[in-house]
Amino acid sequence: MKSKSATVIGLDMGAFQTTAVASTGRHTTFRSCVGSVSGSSLSEQDAVVGADWPELQHRVEPFFEGRFLFTNPDCSDEELFNCRTAARSLVRHAISRVNPHPNGPVYGVVSVPARASDFNRRFLLDAVDGLLDACLLVSSPVAVSYALGRLERTLIINVGAGTVDMAFVDNNIPGRLDQITLPIGLGKVDKTFVELIKARHGLTMTINEARRVREEAGSARGDIRRIPIATQTGGEVCASDCLAEACRGLVSSIKSALAELARGVTRPESVILSGGGSLLRELPEVISELIPEAELIVPENFELCEAEGALKLGTDLPQSSWRRLQFKVAGDAGIQRAA
């Protein structure tokens, strides 16, 4: 990017948090939730972004469990309006936090699930329309590989809050059918944990509480220390089996997807395990055992990795390409080589 007046922003609009990294040198991360303190319907003008206050009205998490990112939801017109408003509010807030150059165009590269549907892609492009001068969508595994400069014979496993995305990159941007998206992520683990505690012990746990316990005690192998949960009668129950089962469900899905993907690609020389799931205890060891001949890479800055890769891809494009792209998907734009 030769023009200093232009700003490029890499955006990772995750189910749990949104991250933006800009060519201005600034970056920001905040919760992917939007609400309103008024009793009126959600609007961009009075939206409160990133807060989880109980007093918020019309609180919306537009990408919860991969909704509007991967799944094609059967929703009412009101829900669609609220989610669109929330998504636009997230983008607007992210742009404001990275201080784009005031007198130049603002270009964005947004990472999306590997097999995002046409509906999901249109939804995201609509969310940035009027906020960005041009936008390119790129799959999250490709963004991760681009961030780390691992573009040859590399398998990416990106475990996020809403989805798990996998792709094999070998000096090209893989097509949508050459990648895999699982509609299960860390958010689904937390939800399953809550449901199992309710079903087996009759206890109620919030999603935030479940997330905290999973982050502290979760394990890919199901080897979980005793987790005491207080009851209303002053006693306690052990919830370790519930969390173990929820974690095993995620790992089982990842194993099945890896077996499917392996049938159509060359054996990788390196494997990148990224996303918040890379912190799940023993998951790196499980992946290494499944693909022992490959070098395992776990990015230290997993929160910024996708957005940094999206930014790097965007800054590698000349400004003339941005003027031609406007609002496109990487594969549709004729960008085939990742290097």
Task: Dig out the tokens for 119 from the structure.
Answer: 């509906």
Res. 234 pLDDT band, cuts 50 70 90: confident
Task: Dig out the tokens for 141 from the structure.
Answer: 């595994």
Position 329 scores a pLDDT of 58
324, pLDDT greater than 90: no
pTM for the whole structure: 0.90
75, pLDDT greater than 70: yes
* Average pLDDT score over residue span 1-15: 82
Q: Are 322 and 6 in contact (CB under 8 A)?
A: yes
82, pLDDT greater than 90: no
Q: Decide which of 285 and 229 is more confident.
A: 285
Domain 7-148+302-329 has CATH 3.40.50.720: no
- At 253-302, the pLDDT tens digits run 999 999 988 887 778 999 999 999 999 999 999 999 999 999 999 999 98
Domain ranges of the chain: 7-148+302-329
Res. 337 pLDDT band, cuts 50 70 90: very low
Using CB atoms within 10 Å of the CB of residue 207, give its burial: 0 to 12 exposed, 13 to 18 middle, 19+ buried.
middle
Percent of the chain with pLDDT strictly greater than 90: 65
The residues, any chain, with a CB within 8 Å of residue 338's CB and separated by 6 or more, are 142, 145, 146, 151, 169, 171, 172, 173
Interior angle at CA 186, CA 170 and CA 236, nearest 5: 155
Mean of the per-residue pLDDT values for the chain?
Answer: 88
40, pLDDT greater than 80: no
* Average pLDDT score over residue span 153-163: 95
The residues, any chain, with a CB within 8 Å of residue 314's CB and separated by 6 or more, are 1, 8, 9, 10, 23, 107, 108, 109, 136
328, pLDDT greater than 80: no
42, pLDDT greater than 90: no
